[in-house]
Amino acid sequence: MRRILIATSNPGKLRDFAGAAAKLGVEVAGIPNFSSLPLVVEDGATFEANARKKAEEYSLAVPGEIVIADDSGLEIDALNGAPGVHSARYAAPELLGQEPHEAGSNTDDEANNQRVLRELENVAAGQRTARFVCVLAAARDGQTVATFRGTAEGVILPAPRGSNGFGYDPLFFFPKIQKTFAELTAEEKSRYSHRGAAFRKLQEWISEQG
């Protein structure tokens, strides 16, 4: 394997993937004309289901190529695993008047964070445990060939801290280094994050392919 394609139009994600794969002698690129492809509806009940669906459907646009797609989010134990697969659209009821699974677009990070804080307002500190989850799926010609799951265990703070990162990073406190994900450098985040953990498993798999 000498090339993988990433199912994203996000230049930051492409840079992250490319930098991590360079030492393996693997070229990373976006799918050609990705923005013109039909949008894959992320209606799966799990992160893996969404990642597999995206990887499989987008891989049909580039026959013979390995395509990587990811799905990730935050699971809070006191909220029975919410926001979960709806992490990026959690504030939809307030902002769009729709349930997250009905929303056609992501909602503002700050609004998502505020909904989480409201729902945890009366939850004791010791019961605010949570985890970030990332699942990467690799597919070729419409078939998933491998999946990789990474997690990071932490606690949701009562107020945001830090200005780096995005999404729920300012609320997610990582006890191992006593910082929120929004207080980490890019290098630290890649070392400790759910996405970094999943990508290291992907790297091992790429190395094994020869």
| Residues carrying an active site annotation | 71
Q: Concatenated DSSP letters for 98-160?
A: S-GGG-SS---HHHHHHHHHHHTTTS-GGG-EEEEEEEEEEEETTEEEEEEEEEEEEEE-SS-
**Residues 114, 44: Cα–Cα separation, whole Å:** 25
Q: Concatenated DSSP letters for 8-37?
A: ---HHHHHHHHHHHHTTT-EEEEPTTGGGS
Amino acid 191 reads R
